[in-house]
Structure 1
Amino acid sequence: MEALFSTEGVNPQHSFRRWRETLVGRGVPLEQARLDDGPFAAKLEAASVGPLLLTRVSHGAVRSEATRALIQRNGKDSTAVVIFKLAGVSTRSQDDRSSVQRRGDFVVVDHRPAAHESTTGSQSLFLELPRERLESVLGSTKLYTSLTMGGDVASAALTVKFFHDLVRVRDRLDPDSAARMASVGVDLIVASIAERLAQEVSRPLHGTVVVQRAKAFVEAHLGDPTLDPPHLAGAVGVSLRRLQELFHERGQHISDWIWQRRLEVTAKRLADPGCAHQPIGTLAFGCGFASQAHFSRRFKERYGSTPREYRHAAVTGADIRAFRPLRRF
């Protein structure tokens, strides 16, 4: 990873002050105070993998607080942060929930008032994501901020290992592979949170969690042409009838949701310059459409244009927001 800052070589009397100045200069909305009197060491590193920016932070024992004023000044209220714990121990508090993270755990925090304490030798990997990417599947971030995703959750253990390996091999990935792996990583994060929520919530919220898990499964398996309501019900461990009832309670139909997400993801890839060299049929098949003709018909019904017209508008700089869905599922 590229080193952005290190206290190595800095006068120990000034190392903590320089660290705080670095955070302020990079727009990090945190007030920090030391928790011990020993020599303070810190390091900040970063690496990009496709559209994702991964930041590795190492530092001594500190208490950090994100205040409302700092957050407003920072201007990142449309994103949430996923934090992978690489070393040390941290205690985080947000949205009336407190939790502890150790090596191998990860946690989500939002840009709202929060606090955390870390031990000496703390090291974490930070990943900022659009909040909408999480909430479109999992619901409000207030359901899972400061909720530890630990090694006892199988998908969380897989997610942590995936990102550890992704950082290690990132330089060997071509741009297309990096973008695909970044997308896989985000899907794993969503699936891990959904699984963890299923362990956490009370019975009255169980139906909401089942739907969240179902939507997370859809996101992770959009490219599977066999994905259908019975397949989905089996994957989340409920009867098809029960899953249909839960979706209907939320004004949705299972099959409509699957097709909606397939079309939305394909439209996003059509507008992505990184996918410009890929044939439209390849993009369609990658999102689970069995034929290009079927995809084109569905796409035009929803967006009022052919996939080729939509891609051309994006490439030429036209405002593709003009292609608003003609109908909702």
Structure 2
Amino acid sequence: MAIETIFSTNNLPAPQRYDGWCELTAKTHVPTLFTSEYASDFRARLGMADLGSVQITALTHPPLTTHRPSRLIRRSDPEMYVLGMIRRGNARFSQADRNFVAAEGDLLLYDTSQPFVGETHAQDSTCSEVTVHVPKALLPLPPDPAANGIMPALLPGTAGIGGLLKGVLQHLITDTSPLRPADTVRIGGVVVDLLTSLVAHELEADTHLPPETREATLGMQIHAFIERHLSDPLLSPSTIAEAHHVSIRYAQRIFQRQGRTISGWIRERRLDHCRRDLADPAHASQPVHAIAARWGLPHPQHFSRAFKRAYGIAPQDYRHMTLHG
């Protein structure tokens, strides 16, 4: 089962339930201040799944108010983007002078580095949501998405890419079939790819965005294009620029603002996929050079040198270490 219940306040005496919940969620999410009229007997539960770099949490709890002020951000900030999916009830959310009301099925994206206030409500006093914590490095947005009008954002979860993402999250929290460690990493990658595509799609549809935000949208589209074409050994800055109808210089400038080059990012993503496959028992019978070629690195000696520079160990030795200890 992907989501495993790790905490239920029913296992605590009534006077300790609310404090226990506050303490746990400060560790599993980010430190926040809570208030709730149900604090005297707070019945809640929390389930969690680690999908590689992505963390998914399913929460059920009474209505409450969550506040993350600047002083808590200065004390602790994991630098995450958080996607919340409302499953039961509704939520009011405020961040960076933007206010939203999210209903059941809506997707809400926000930033742990900016103060926020959230309120959850439900007619039967039982609220439920799923949160996805994604490291900022995995979602290619500008350094200050709030200032660029990108975040927070209320994203559609009923159709299209949003519907696909919502379906994946619902499956994860309801499916009881076991997942291998390698499967969880792959699913985490799927969640990030869908979220990246959804944000890029929604930004592209907004005709009122400033030029810098449009550039950020193009950057996300290029990142998604690279992920889809990593297996093509001919993938290059020129083919990427041509596919997006921009000059090579303009495409390179987008990456330079992120402290990268296009060629360097392609190499980094290919090596990362190779590293994952080398550690995956499902690919144990495949030669190292075949795995490298599958990700667009057809020259074994070049691949071996690049892998060792990136990870400090030869690919064959890395495979043996991860599969056999």
Question: Normalising TM by the smaller chain, what interval?
Answer: 0.7 to 0.9
Find the aligned partners of 1:83 and 1:8 in 2 and give their Cα distance. Answer: 24
1:222 to 222, 226, 230: 230
Return the alpha-carbon distance in structure 2 between the equivalents of residues 251 and 191 of structure 1.
18
Aligned CA distance change for structure 1 residues 9 and 232 (closer, same or farther; 3 Å): same
Q: Paired residue for 1:204, among 197, 206, 211? A: 211
| Matching of residues 37-116 of structure 1 within 5 Å | 40-73=42-75, 75-112=76-113, 113-116=115-118
Q: Secondary structure at the match of 2:151?
A: coil
1:155-193 Cα shifts (integer Å, max 9, x gaps)? 122111122223444743333233222212211111111
| Aligned counterpart, 1:274 | 279
Residue correspondence of structure 1 range 106-185 to structure 2 within 5 A: 106-112=107-113, 113-120=115-122, 121-134=126-139, 137-140=140-143, 142-143=145-146, 144-151=150-157, 154-169=160-175, 171-185=177-191
Look up the SS of the partner of 2:211 in the other structure.
Answer: helix
Does structure 2 retain, via aligned residues, the 8 Å contact 1:262–1:287?
Answer: no
**Counterpart in 2 of 1:321?**
none
Check 1:217–1:162 CA distance in 2 against 1; reply closer, same or farther (3 A cut): farther
Distance in 2 between residues matched to 1:71 and 1:102, nearest whole Å: 27
Give the Cα separation in 2 of the matches to 1:178 and 1:29. Answer: 26
The answer to which of 206-215 and 108-117 deviates more is 206-215
Q: Could you tell me whether the CA contact under 8 Å between 2:273 and 2:295 is conserved in 1?
A: no
Structure 1's 249 and 107: CA in aligned 2 closer, same or farther, altered over 3 A?
same
Percent of pairs with identical residues: 21
The answer for the alignment partner of 1:324 in structure 2 is none
Residue identity opposite 2:85 in structure 1: F
* Cα shift at 1:66: 0.9
Q: What is the CA RMSD across the aligned residues, in angstroms?
A: 3.8
The CA distance in 1 between the partners of 2:55 and 2:71, in whole Å, is 25
Give the TM-score, by structure 1 length: 0.74
* Matched-pair contact (CA < 8 Å) for 1:32–1:62: yes
Q: Secondary structure at the match of 2:46?
A: strand
Task: Tell me the distance in 1 between the aligned counterparts of 2:159 and 2:240.
Answer: 20
Is residue 60–residue 128 contact of structure 2 (8 Å, CA) maintained in 1?
Answer: yes
Q: Which runs of 4+ in 1 moved over 6 A?
A: 36-39, 228-231
Structure number with greater CO (CA < 8 Å, separation at least 6) is 2
Provide the C-alpha distance between the structure 1 equivalents of 2:103 and 2:69, rounded to a whole number of angstroms: 24
CA contact (8 A) 1:51 1:182 kept: yes
Compute the displacement of 1:297 (Å): 3.1
- Kindly provide the amino acid, as one letter, of the partner of residue 160 in structure 2: A
For these two proteins, the number of residue pairs brought into alignment is: 303
Asked if 2 retains the 8 angstrom alpha-carbon contact of 1:280 and 1:307, the reply is no
Distance 1:24 1:203, change over 3 A: closer
AA in 2 matched with 1:107: L
Amino acid at match of 1:140: P
The residue type equivalent to 2:128 in the other structure is Q
Structure 2, unmatched stretches of 5+, are none
In the alignment, the residues of structure 2 paired with residue 95 and residue 111 of structure 1 have an alpha-carbon distance, to the nearest angstrom, of: 12
For 1:28 and 1:298, how far apart are their aligned partners in 2?
Answer: 39
Cα distance in 2, alignment partners of residues 234 and 163 from structure 1: 35
Match of 1:19 in 2: 21
In 1, the alpha carbon distance for the partners of 2:309 and 2:26 equals 46
Question: How much does 1:154 deviate?
Answer: 2.0
CA contact (8 A) 1:296 1:307 kept: no
Q: TM-score, normalised by structure 2?
A: 0.74
Query: Contact (CA 8 Å) 2:68, 2:117: kept in 1 or not?
Result: yes
